[in-house]
Amino acid sequence: MGSPIVTLRVVFDTNTVILALLFPKGRLAWLRTVWRQGAIVPLISKATTEEIVRVLAYPKFHLDAAEQVELLGDFLPFAEIIDAVLPTGEVPICRDKYDQIFLELEVAGEADALVTGDEDLLVLSEQSPIPIMMPADFHRRIGIK
């Protein structure tokens, strides 16, 4: 028999999700394909979802409410909601307090990876119990062509 299919549980920071959603031919468009196919399960929390909703409403994106809902509809149905309280001390402390939610989510959700381009998160890769990597490194890890 072949190897069992392993679905990776992944936390994506807001910018990674936004780039994947807003630019269907962009460098992160492949993420939409892999979460639609079920090869990865994005992990979300109330806080990370609120952040994505807030950023999609930025005037610079010129998205009306219907367009925002449509984009969220291409992400949220594929995600697993994590709602857990974390024991103190398991999560590295980020120098950007607004990025702390992603570190907490990766631990609470027992993620296989945190995917980000944010240097404030990337510098914590040695301290984190979960791999923190850039999208290109994650792309290579999962072997998507």
Fold of the domain spanning 8-142: Rossmann fold (3.40.50)
Over residues 7-45, the pLDDT tens digits come to 899 999 999 999 999 999 999 999 999 999 999 999 999
Contact predicate 10/20, CB 8 Å: no
Over residues 95-121, the pLDDT tens digits come to 778 889 999 999 899 999 999 999 999
Q: What is the pLDDT of residue 131?
A: 94
* Separation of alpha carbons 114 and 110, rounded Å: 10
Any idea where the domains of the chain sit in the sequence? 8-142
Tell me how far apart the terminal alpha carbons of the chain are, to the nearest angstrom: 24
Over residues 115-139, the pLDDT tens digits come to 999 999 999 888 888 999 999 999 9
